A and B are shown apart, each in its own frame.
Chain A
Amino acid sequence: MSSVMANNKTTDKAANKMTKQKGFAIDLKTWGPFVALVALALLGVLINPAFLGLDNLSNMLTRSAFIGIIAIGATFVITAGGLDLSVGAMAAFIAGVMIILMNSLVEQFGAGLTTVLLGVGASLLLGLCAGFINGMVTTKGKIEAFIVTLGTMGIYRSLVTYLADGGTLTLDWAVRDIYRPVYYGSFLGITIPVWVFLAVAIIGYILLNYTRFGRYCFAIGSNEKVAEYSAIHVDRIKTMTYMLQGVCVALATIIYVPRLGSASGATGVLWELEAIAAVIIGGTMLKGGHGRIWGTVVGAIMLTMIGNILNLTDAISNYLNGTVQGIIIIVAVYLQRASWRKSAP
């Protein structure tokens, strides 16, 4: 069949030129967030050399793990053209249910590993189900993700307040002792939350860039109709992104609960916005079709780093954390758009 259609000699040359140009453009875009992170770190060192201290770095990374893990899930949702506003409330709800469950299991199994493992299992299951609900209502109900997850956000938030009866749910002290290492423990000098963060990031990277699921996320986020006409089960893939998001929220919750050992209506407030901010700073496009896991990781670390640097200096009040974060988000996106414009013909 190739007889008619193959009679072109310039193809190879053109293809070479294409890859060369492509490599250059992608470098600029890919490394942008990393450059910003290094610049921010340099600023940190200049302000206070204590910034580079092992304790400080470890503490900062550990704190960024919650948002980071959630943001990796959000990268999939956003890349596939969706949005999940319910993650913060979902985390609070999962934390609440987890604590109640473990407290009640103490009578039966004692304050042992079994209790903690059951709590962890229930948490993951809950996250999966919550994500499934978000996904099904969005796809089968044909309602915008913004609206659906705004709704579920309210539901989870009020449910945890209800469960805590307006107060705080506290984890049984004995269970807490066993569970403590999940947040405070470390392996090879690196804290457990950071290990989890790293593992989720690597799995996320492979999933997004080297599997059909990831490629389909890009296609759906770019143009759902094209995805449908490419024999992709659009609804199924989209629902899966929300389920993945749910699992990420559950994982973040699992490492968050031993930190404070409690949950209330105020747990996880504004996490959804921080997660989305991390995703956007990392170079993922909010309208979908373009996502980057390592960018998200960098974005999450940057957000925590800003707070950390403000803690180390007296020049700017700590209360202005949100202001600085806000400026950084807007500047980051502005720079990305500017580089987009340059590379377009």
Chain B
Amino acid sequence: MLLSARKLCRSFGENQVLFDVDLDLQAGEVHALLGENGAGKSTLVKILAGYLRPTAGEVWVDGRQRHYRSSGEAEADGVVMIHQELALAEQLSVEENIFLGRELRRGMFLDRRAMRQQSREALAELETDVDPRARVKDLSTSDQQMVEIAKAITRDVRVLIMDEPTATLTENEVKVLFALIDRLRKRGVAILYISHKLLEIEQIADRVTVLRDGHLVDSGSMAGRSKEELARLMVGREITEMYPPRTQLPVDAPVVLEARDMVVPGAVKQASFTLRRGEVLGFGGIVGAGRTALLEAMLGLRGKSAGQVLRNGQPVVLRHLRDAVHQRIAYLTEDRKGKGLVLNMDLRSNVTLLNLRAHCHPLIDRRREEQAFQQAIQRFDIRLRTAARTAAELSGGNQQKLLLAKVMSIDPEIVIINEPTRGIDVGTKHQVYHFIHELTEAGCSVILISSEMGELIGLSHRVAVMCAGVLTRVLEGEQINEHEIMQYASGIKGAGIDEQRYG
């Protein structure tokens, strides 16, 4: 046994988040760690990688008991963790990052050539064309992820812990990553793999451990287990219908929002679409196709160089998100932590921040604000079991619900939702889907940007597909399927794409 944990417990203050958890990792296996948000997965792996110390319990590596006081000590044993939130020095180059803290030297000076050489080899192994001299700041998120992985494999890694590695990767990059995981496994590396995507787990995991509310629920071989069974173990209840039925649209449902010939410099070359009352309009396409840019430009969050926005058939000018709010359009950003929530602010202020004027006459009425917050907790089922004071202390799923509560505070008629289920667990996803359904039942319209095919297909009335800044096609009815969406998203289908892209 390469690494074993015995009866690990961990508390934060009075609040225990991990209860007597056992885990065994063998050389050459991919071990999936499953659990809802807040189940204690991150705490567990942080203990294994030396970032946290257990309140009780033991960690054994190579048959010797270890008491890591820092991540550096764990890394010296070959236990390396790749973070969910990338931890790279943005202003440094790729190679400088890969060797950060353990620079190769010749005498007093840095041995740049050796470092570059080794960085190149590591990146080549990942089949990525990232330049070792590029600045990390200038890389896409997925390339940054590759740098993180390269950083891990240049160390003599024996246990590799990956926390949601595919959350920001494109489909192709996921393939490359899986191939790499396979090679590492053959080399005898033990991989502890955290993900919410059960499909992925099914593909690559040899064994699986499931946590729920800090307790070990099940652990064993993947063979003979279905996704459905795993989902049930994680959530603790049966999830029957993942996607609620679509709201029936009347034939004459009016158009509530329309975009005409939108152009956003550097991102969108040509896009027009309509949104009808009670409709879910999906937006598909690969990362960087211009979906976020298009909708943010419509809302006044980015500059556009041409195009017109019509609300209920009337042209409107939205220069600032406040104008969009006045038009009762709400926007749920995909970047919860960077753009959605003030992490070091208390929860109540976060919920009321967007619609604070409703609680001002003219001074802020703290009591009314608190009432609104309590209502939001109820309505969106925000779970405060961690006694969180600030938004940063909430789990990902609860943060998403808090953000949902915040944008819904303006009582919108149109809700634009960007990647609503990124990095959140099955149970919360299910709640989000049903929430979208409730919105459309109540006569609201929803624009859903998502990279998850299942979500787009399961929820949308129509799916608009974008490719390289061009809205190539709006698919309807029978056309909405994975194959068709991919064809338009990758530019295989769609008339005149090439002209528009290169013209």
Contacts and interface: CB of A to CB of B under 8 A. Distances in A.
B438 interface: yes
A212 B360 contact: yes
B385 interface: yes
A199 B301 CA distance: 39
B325 to A, nearest CB: 5
B353 A219 contact: yes
Contacts, number: 122
Interface stretch (A90-98, A147-155, A167-175, A225-233): A225-233
B63 to A, nearest CB: 33
Contacts of B385: 10, 14
Interface string B278-289: 000000000000
Interface string B355-389: 01100101110100000001001111111110111
A325 to B, nearest CB: 29
Interface of B: 12-13, 301, 320-322, 324-325, 331, 333, 335, 338-346, 349, 353-354, 356-357, 360, 362-364, 366, 374, 377-385, 387-389, 393, 401, 406, 431, 434-435, 438-439, 442
Nearest to B15: A345
A259 interface: no
Given A6-B379, A218-B345, A219-B345, A233 B322 contact: yes
B322 A206 contact: no
Contacts of A25: 389
Contacts of A233: 320, 322
Among A5, A8, A25, A231, the one with the most B-chain Cβ atoms within 10 Å of its Cβ is: A231
Given A4-B435, A210-B364, A230-B321, 9 more contacts: A10-B385, A11-B378, A14-B383, A212-B356, A212-B357, A222-B343, A232-B353, A289-B344, A345-B393
30 contacts: A1-B438, A1-B439, A5-B401, A5-B431, A5-B434, A6-B378, A10-B385, A14-B384, A15-B374, A15-B384, A18-B389, A21-B13, A210-B364, A211-B363, A218-B342, A218-B349, A222-B342, A225-B338, A228-B301, A228-B339, A229-B301, A229-B333, A229-B339, A230-B354, A231-B322, A289-B342, A289-B345, A345-B12, A345-B13, A345-B393
A176 interface: no
Interface of A: 1-8, 10-11, 14-15, 17-18, 21-22, 25, 206, 209-212, 215-216, 218-219, 222-223, 225-233, 289-290, 345
B325 A5 contact: no
Contacts of B338: 223, 225-226
**Nearest 4 CB-CB pairs, A to B?**
A5-B381, A231-B321, A14-B384, A345-B12
A262 B404 CA distance: 58
Contacts of A229: 301, 321, 331, 333, 339-340
Among A1, A230, A232, A289, the one with the most B-chain Cβ atoms within 10 Å of its Cβ is: A230
Contacts of B439: 1
A22 B364 contact: no
Given A15-B377, A21-B387, A219-B345, A206 B363 contact: yes
A290 to B, nearest CB: 7
Nearest to B378: A6
B372 to A, nearest CB: 14
B354 A212 contact: no
A18 B385 CA distance: 9
A223 B342 contact: yes
Contacts of B438: 1, 3-4
A98 B357 CA distance: 39
B8 to A, nearest CB: 17
A11 B389 contact: no
B436 to A, nearest CB: 11
B77 to A, nearest CB: 26
B435 to A, nearest CB: 7
A180 B321 CA distance: 51
Contacts of B13: 21, 345
A227 B349 CA distance: 12
A216 B364 CA distance: 12
A144 to B, nearest CB: 16
B348 to A, nearest CB: 10
A2 B393 contact: no
A202 to B, nearest CB: 13
Given A231-B321, A231-B322, A222 B344 contact: yes
Contact of B349 (A8, A215, A232, A290): A215
A1 B381 contact: no
Nearest to B346: A22
A226 B342 contact: yes
B248 to A, nearest CB: 18
Contact of A2 (B331, B342, B379): B379
A21 B339 contact: no
Contacts of A4: 431, 434-435, 438
A10 B377 CA distance: 11
Contacts of A5: 378-381, 401, 431, 434-435
Contact of B362 (A22, A211, A218, A219): A211
Contacts of A227: 342
Contact of B339 (A2, A8, A225): A225
Among B353, B388, B401, B438, the one with the most A-chain Cβ atoms within 10 Å of its Cβ is: B353
Among B338, B342, B364, B388, the one with the most A-chain Cβ atoms within 10 Å of its Cβ is: B342
A215 B301 contact: no
A10 B345 CA distance: 23
Among A6, A209, A229, the one with the most B-chain Cβ atoms within 10 Å of its Cβ is: A229
Contacts of A225: 335, 338-339
A11 B383 contact: yes
A211 B364 contact: yes
Contacts of A3: 438
A97 B119 CA distance: 63
B359 to A, nearest CB: 9
A11 B379 CA distance: 12
A207 to B, nearest CB: 10
Contacts of A1: 379, 435, 438-439, 442
Contacts of B379: 1-2, 5-6
A234 B405 CA distance: 22
A226 B364 contact: no
A21 B389 CA distance: 9
Among A206, A211, A345, the one with the most B-chain Cβ atoms within 10 Å of its Cβ is: A345
B381 A6 contact: yes
A227 B384 CA distance: 24
Nearest to B388: A18
Nearest to B324: A231
B378 to A, nearest CB: 5
B384 A215 contact: no
A4 B429 CA distance: 12
Contacts of A206: 363
Nearest to B369: A215
A231 B383 contact: no
A286 to B, nearest CB: 14
Nearest to A21: B387
B319 to A, nearest CB: 10
B384 A11 contact: yes
A226 B356 contact: no
Contact of A18 (B331, B341, B357, B387): B387
A80 to B, nearest CB: 13
Contacts of B434: 4-5
B364 A212 contact: yes
Among B331, B344, B362, B387, the one with the most A-chain Cβ atoms within 10 Å of its Cβ is: B387
